[in-house]
Amino acid sequence: MNNSATEMLVSATIEFLRSYPPFDRMEPEALQFLGEHVKLAYYPKDALIISPESGVVRVFRILQRGKVLARQAGEISLMEHSILTLGPGEGFPIGSVTAQRSSTNIYTALGDVFCYELSADDYFVLMQKSPVFNIFCTQYIASLLSQSRQQLQMQFSQRVAEQQTMNSPLSSIIKKEPLSVTPDTFVREVVGLMAARSIGSMIVVDDEQQPIGIFTQSDVLKRIVLPGASLDIPIRQVMSLDPHTLPLAANAYDAALVMAMHGVRHVLAVDEGGRLKGVVSERDLFTLQRVGLRQIRQTIDSATNIDMLLQASHDVRQLSLNMLAQGVGAEQITQFISALNDTLTRRIIQLNLDRHDLFGIEWAWLSFGSEGRDEQTFSTDQDNGIVYICTDIMDREHTQLRLLEFARDVNSDLDKCGFPLCVGNIMASNPALCLTLEEWEEKFDNWIRTPEPEALLNATIFFDFRPLFGQYNLADRMRLSLLRQTRNNPLFLRMLVENAVGVLPPLGKIRDFVTDADPEHPGTIDLKKFGSRLFIDAARIFALAHDVPATNTVQRIKLAAPLMNVSHEDAAATIDAFNFIQLLRLRHQHSEQTQGREGDNLIRPDDLNEVERRILKEAFRQARKLQQRLKLDYQL
């Protein structure tokens, strides 16, 4: 073949590769090297391309035309969910080539197949030449997720392109050296310094320059002026102890989340030794975001009626949208939504406590479901309950009646603020969910000892509980009781597993995805039912089986992984996959709501771009791996 023909062939190869990740981002020299070193190979229908018996994989293949069926070797390959289909642009088998081992999958041609083939030696040269390709092969899901997030950010971020983002590290936000004093500095001097420097807070540090307290402008009024305290006392007597700190490497989002969760206006940045390096205020984040984090908090905290809280609810959504536009991840956004919604719920509870006499009752408001997991999206209804203590001298029916009347008003106000009443009546105003601690423990015990279908369904909702207001120790006691009961009942866990693996990831054998599960919405996938739920259910079982008290899905996976001998890399891949599905849900819900429709979880795979389709398919594969792990662990 003459040089001209060779150049045309290489050019055509490069043109094809540029349509698929990671080649669309690969450095020009590396892409040229790849185009010059691959060879096009043909496989007829049903031809065996790779199997474990082939030995150490010495060729990396990129599918150019046709479909390749991949199924796991061994007994597990008989399971339907162990089969997947590869399409044009997909490389295989990445793990086997990189590790220089035999393939664990069997790859066969579904029809006439053409593949670009690259020798293992050239594959490793390419990894050295191209950081993009290297990262893609060693961190497959994370690489795809990062690229997809970049595309999503470009779609949303034109109006915020000039701003710093919430991903900015604290080190870039801090503009001046922090001012600090020792614990024995007199209040008079502290107040004078704050006035002279026009600063809203003073940090108190120890001899190691580690922050031990903070004194703010509002403290001057509350702790000095109104009580008539002397200015000639040491600051340690009136400062707030244990101020919230974050490492310099943390980002603006982390600071915003701390402020939202704890209702504070300042977060201190510290170095690796815990020494004070700067102060980040709500004003800093307000300037950074150009959205009203401070305004939202002030609106919620000072609200005297539901109309004010309704506006705050709209602001929470707008703030979350801006974070989505700036490329903040799904885990952080859902936590942020949950944290601010928690604050709003607490304010509604406080307003209703002014109208209801609950004096003398020990109680706690519980959240269940997505709110209990800190995973609320833009579309969410109410899932809540109450736990309380009824002593021997208290009338149980009268006590519950007082709590139910209070709960009805709270549920009604939450509905007015954009949290619809639960159609399944999973609300604190339901007498079946306003129970004493002993009654909750008995309810859990009955579900665990008699794992019928309804009990298993209840477990998926009510075992993800979290206290929002009141006596948090009651929820802690519920948690200890629950974990004690579940770890001693392998039959219940096995039934939970059977329930969890009953819904398979929507991966097709021939097509990429199965989109006909809902006849009323053909061509769609419910990303809640067939996506995030698969990860949530598996993580819940891991937590219950290994005494993990967390309710958040990501935290459950992180904490359970080392107890299950799961590698950090595998756990990270699972988390990335879950977060991507959550990200697609957030984006879709926002798109639906901006068009005046109620946000749902039904996405059309055909509407996704190539990168999104690729990573969604990989995310479903990760869900399938979780289900395989559960089946093996519980011998199903």
Q: Among the ranges 85-94, 315-324, 374-383, 423-432, which has the highest mean pLDDT value?
A: 423-432
pLDDT, position 286: 65
Cβ atoms < 10 Å from Cβ of 227? 10
The per-residue pLDDT for 74 is: 58
pLDDT digits (tens, 9 = 90+) for 456-510: 999 999 999 999 999 999 999 999 999 999 988 899 999 999 999 999 999 887 6
Helices 396-416 and 306-325 sit at what angle, rounded to 10 degrees? Answer: 60
Q: Say if residue 2's pLDDT is above 70.
A: no
594-612 mean pLDDT = 82
Instruction: Report the percentage of the chain scoring pLDDT > 70.
Output: 91
> DSSP code of 528?
I
Place of tokens 């190869």: 13
User: Tokens at residue 14, please?
Assistant: 């490069």
| pLDDT of amino acid 158 | 43
Pairing of strands 266-270, 245-247: parallel
Banded model confidence at residue 103, pLDDT cuts 50, 70, 90: confident
Per-residue pLDDT band at 198 (split at 50, 70, 90): confident
Task: Give me the mean pLDDT over the 135-164 stretch.
Answer: 56
Quick one: pLDDT at residue 326? 67
pLDDT band at 362 (very low <50, low <70, confident <90, very high): very high
Q: Among candidates 504, 501, 495, which has minimal Cα distance to 455?
A: 495
The pLDDT, as a whole number, for residue 143 is: 58
268-319, pLDDT tens digit by residue? 999 999 999 999 988 777 656 544 566 677 788 888 888 888 878 878 877 7
Q: In this structure, what are the phi and psi dihedrals at residue 597, rounded to the nearest 5 degrees?
A: -105, 155
Task: Tell me what pLDDT residue 140 has.
Answer: 63
Helix (H, G, I), strand (E, B) or coil at 203: strand
Contacts (Cβ under 8 Å, ≥6 apart) of 275:
208, 209, 210
More confidently predicted of 622 and 155:
622
Contacts of 260 (CB under 8 A, 6+ apart): 293, 297, 336, 339, 340, 343
For residue 18, give the 3-state DSSP assignment: coil
542-573 pLDDT, tens digit per residue, is 999 999 999 999 999 999 999 999 988 889 88
Residue 161 pLDDT class (50, 70, 90 cuts): very low
Better-predicted residue by pLDDT, 144 or 85: 85
Q: Could you tell me the fold of the domain covering 3-138? A: Jelly Rolls (2.60.120)
pLDDT of 577 above 80: yes
CA dist., res. 510 & res. 495, Å (int) = 31
Residue 32: per-residue pLDDT: 95
Residue where the block lists tokens 């009323």: 520
* Percentage of the chain modeled with pLDDT above 90: 55
Length of the chain as a residue count: 636
Q: Range(s) for CATH 2.60.120.10 in the chain?
A: 3-138
Residue 28, pLDDT > 60, answer yes
- Helices of type H across 21-93: 28-37
Q: What mean pLDDT comes out for the span 618-627?
A: 91
pLDDT of residue 618: 85
Give 285's DSSP letter. Answer: H
The stretch 2-13 carries a mean pLDDT of 81
Where do we find the tokens 């300042």?
Answer: 266
Residue 148's pLDDT is 58
Given a cut of 60, is residue 361 above it in pLDDT?
A: yes
What is the C-alpha to C-alpha distance for residues 381 and 370, in angstroms, rounded to an integer? 9
Cα–Cα distance between 440 and 269 in angstroms, integer? Answer: 42
Query: Does residue 583 carry a pLDDT above 70?
Result: yes
Compute the average pLDDT of residues 123-134. Answer: 91
Mean pLDDT for the stretch of residues 251-260:
86
CATH 3.10.580.10 in the chain: give the residue spans. 170-289
Averaged pLDDT for residues 406-426:
94
Per-residue pLDDT of 328-342, as tens digits, reads 777 888 888 888 889
Q: The domain at 170-289 falls in which architecture?
A: Roll (3.10)
pLDDT, residue 543, reads 96
Direct distance between the N- and C-terminal alpha carbons of the chain, in angstroms, rounded to an integer: 57
**Per-residue pLDDT at 150 exceeds 70:** no
Q: Residue 461: its pLDDT value, please?
A: 94
Q: How far apart are CA 377 and CA 373, in angstroms?
A: 11
Euclidean distance between CA atoms 313 and 382, whole angstroms: 14
pLDDT at position 291 is 46
Q: Is the pLDDT of residue 537 over 90?
A: yes
